Structures are given as C-alpha cells and as structure tokens.
C-alpha cells in the first residue's frame, strides 16, 4: 500500500479504534467520537482527604486521510 494514497474510511476508522484501545487501557474514557476523531479524558485521582482536585487529562485524536494520527 502506498502511503501517499488516501485510505478508505473503514481503514481510517480501524487505525483510530486501535489507538483508542491503547488509551482506554491507560484509564482514559471516550467523551465524544466520530468515525475519524475521538476525544478522551482520564479522570485524575484525588489525594488524601479529597479536598484537592486536579484537572482531568484530555486528548483529542484525529486520523487523517493517510492514516496518520494527530494528537492534541
């Protein structure tokens, strides 16, 4: 397969799905999704008495037409 040719919609979806599974194993959860994008969040754990809260980690993944993942 030539990496300069656009991938099918199904191929792009499969690439994204594999990447999402990696994040889910690390404790992230899916917040929103399309066939080629997904937003994930990882809740931060509270320390000690629970009065100090931390901001959840989030990541946005997008797979382009060539099958490359963009993370923001």
- At 11-68, the pLDDT tens digits run 999 999 999 999 999 999 999 999 999 999 998 776 655 555 567 899 999 999 999 9
- Record the pTM: 0.79
The one-character DSSP state at 10 is H
Instruction: Give me the domain span that covers residue 32.
Output: 9-71
Query: What's the number of domains the chain is made of?
Result: 1
Phi then psi for 44, rounded to 5 degrees? Answer: -85, 145
> Is residue 44 included in any domain, yes or no?
yes
> Is residue 39 included in any domain, yes or no?
yes
- Neighbour order of strands in the sheet with 57-63: 29-33, 37-42, 57-63, 69-71
> Is residue 2 included in any domain, yes or no?
no
> Is residue 4 included in any domain, yes or no?
no
> Is residue 18 included in any domain, yes or no?
yes
Taking alpha carbons only, the member of 56, 3, 54, 7 closest to residue 35 is 7
């Amino acid at each position: 397969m030539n990496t300069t040719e656009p991938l099918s919609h199904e191929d792009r979806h499969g690439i994204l799905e594999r990447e999402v599974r990696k994040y889910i194993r690390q404790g992230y959860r899916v917040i929103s999704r399309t066939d080629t994008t997904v937003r994930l969040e990882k809740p931060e754990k509270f320390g000690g008495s629970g009065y100090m809260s931390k901001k959840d980690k989030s990541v946005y993944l997008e797979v382009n037409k060539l099958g490359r993942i963009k993370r923001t």
